[in-house]
Chains A and B, each alone.
Chain A
């Protein structure tokens, strides 16, 4: 009898402990997900109910040029950021890892600092640096192209510029992961190899790179997922323009829902983005698991 009451008490306590998380999760994640699926089959405005329209929103999506433009821009941005940021982060991590003491702490702080800035601070600083008339970087652009460039009003320049700014902003996170990875590599390995007369290049190719691969894979996939969710920087820097050259999926969701008041259609776009990111995440998870098993 006492066992049974104890058991019951144990379960009551457990339920109480998990209740806050479960409740909030159901309220702000689960319920909105179900709602989003439902809403995507209606012509509802943002606030208020609409009529069931079946697959109309999805048909419209498939014939919407802006959708393909957004998809293409999302892909372009991924290309511009994911691999470059990983390579840059690895190079910086290797360099920082060779420093020691206060010098290392200082240099690491410099590279990490941008990561903790709010996105709007980042965009305002860069908008000023790249200002068409007075930007400190315009002489550089002038030297490269022969004249000043209004980077955020130029279809060819806007995405690469946003990508470069994003790398500056978020790279610190990747650097930290690489440094953690480097610290996990036992120094005995290097000593043994150095005793055998291995060159620096060999040390990197035979020890550092293979042992760092799991971290590299992690950084690549985290970046891929992160960059697919691009919105803040393009919204603040170019608003998706010029001529939709920096328009991305999340911006389409935002515009359809909050500016054009198409709750139903926005939900359909959001669901596509949701599924896209989930698929990439699951692939990533599986990939890392297989990688980890090796």
Chain B
């Protein structure tokens, strides 16, 4: 086992590969190396579209479509980026995307934790029904509701507004379910102690249960934000004026406007993806954790 670790530093001494006996050591090492090569090749293929988008975005429009353009970055021009930032509505779309996504995240978390707290810690008529509704709303395909949701937004005068983008995205049942699980796991003694000291339910929720669960709160916040940022279908329907568009909807307009200016299209695409990509790369562990927990695979 030790030997294997030294010769193959990149490999985890996974237990099932770690008990080679006798002559098997040699074959297993060859196998391991081959598997590593295949894995890395697959990873390179997987990242290639993003690499290619980046390489394209730092070329000039002329060079992008010229015969001389190879696979390697052979130019470093930020013209496409400055063009994208200053000759389109990209900055306005950033503001719309950040504004709506932040508001959605905050409201989803607050309403979710409040509802989860009531479901987990309080006794009231209709509690079971409410929990059943939360579980069932998991299955409701909101995409099939867009027609009448649009009619509703139109009746409320919310077409082409932030509120119009935000409202239908505030139902994220998984946030309630995850919070409920975590609140259920808080020891009852803490609750009783606070109640004896004269604290109320709000004190309990915001001074005890929430601080105890900052970890999951931040994990849920990050994925809720990413999901809200990436939302395409609904904002695409409810927004028609270019000034109100979010990033995912807006960047499709750039293609329409500029036609086949590929460097600029790629620059816009990468700028549009940058905030969530950076958020993911910084909080990779949190995102991974949130995805695993919210799908119920890991509790």
Report the interface size for chain B: residues with CB under 8 A from the other chain.
Answer: 105
In-complex Cβ contact of B114 among A17, A104, A124, A215 (8 A): A17
Within A126-178, which residues are at the interface with B (CB < 8 Å)?
126, 128-129, 131, 133-134, 136, 168, 173, 176-177
Cα A113 to Cα B47 in complex, Å, equals 8
Q: Mark B107-151, 1 if CB is under 8 A from A, else 0.
A: 100111011011100111101001001100111111111111111
Q: Which residue of B lies closest to A274 (CB)?
A: B144
Instruction: Check A274 against B145 for contact (C-beta < 8 Å).
Output: yes
- Selecting from A53-61, A64-72, A78-86, A189-197, the interface stretch reads A189-197
Report A278 CB to chain B, min CB distance, Å: 6
Report A64 CB to chain B, min CB distance, Å: 17
Report the interface size for chain A: residues with CB under 8 A from the other chain.
Answer: 100
**Contacts of A134 on B, CB cut-off 8 Å?**
64-65, 262
Instruction: Check A176 against B230 for contact (C-beta < 8 Å).
Output: no
Report A107 CB to chain B, min CB distance, Å: 5
Instruction: Check A104 against B111 for contact (C-beta < 8 Å).
Output: no
**Residue B233, interface by CB 8 Å:** yes
**Contacts of B252 on A, CB cut-off 8 Å?**
120, 124, 236
**Contacts of B42 on A, CB cut-off 8 Å?**
92, 95
Instruction: Check A116 against B226 for contact (C-beta < 8 Å).
Output: yes
Instruction: Check B139 against A124 for contact (C-beta < 8 Å).
Output: no
**Residue A2, interface by CB 8 Å:** no
Cα A134 to Cα B64 in complex, Å, equals 8
Chain B contact residues, majority secondary structure: helix
**Residue A22, interface by CB 8 Å:** yes
Q: Which residue of B lies closest to A92 (CB)?
A: B42
Q: Number of contacts between A and B (CB, 8 Å)? A: 292
Given contacts A111-B43, A229-B141, contact A121 B147 (CB under 8 A): no
Report B81 CB to chain A, min CB distance, Å: 15
Instruction: Check B16 against A218 for contact (C-beta < 8 Å).
Output: no
Within B169-219, which residues are at the interface with A (CB < 8 Å)?
170-171, 176, 200-202, 205
Q: Mark B281-299, 1 if CB is under 8 A from A, else 0.
A: 1001001100110011110
In-complex Cβ contact of B167 among A13, A28, A187, A273 (8 A): A28
Cα A95 to Cα B114 in complex, Å, equals 41
Instruction: Check A24 against B171 for contact (C-beta < 8 Å).
Output: yes
Instruction: Check B201 against A17 for contact (C-beta < 8 Å).
Output: yes
**Contacts of A39 on B, CB cut-off 8 Å?**
147-148, 151
Return 24 A-B CB contacts under 8 Å, by A number. Answer: A10-B124, A14-B118, A17-B117, A24-B170, A25-B133, A95-B38, A95-B39, A95-B42, A105-B284, A109-B280, A114-B46, A114-B49, A116-B287, A117-B273, A118-B232, A119-B248, A120-B249, A124-B266, A124-B269, A134-B64, A194-B16, A200-B17, A267-B147, A281-B139
Nearest 3 CB-CB pairings of A with B:
A100-B12, A281-B139, A118-B248
Q: Which residues of B contact A (CB under 8 A)?
A: 10-12, 14-19, 21, 31-32, 35-36, 38-40, 42-43, 46-47, 49-50, 52-53, 56, 64-65, 71, 107, 110-112, 114-115, 117-119, 122-125, 127, 130, 133-134, 137-152, 154, 167-168, 170-171, 176, 200-202, 205, 226, 229-230, 232-233, 237, 247-249, 251-252, 255, 262, 265-266, 268-270, 272-273, 276-277, 280-281, 284, 287-288, 291-292, 295-298
Given contacts A46-B147, A183-B298, 4 further A-B contacts (CB under 8 A): A100-B10, A104-B12, A231-B233, A285-B139
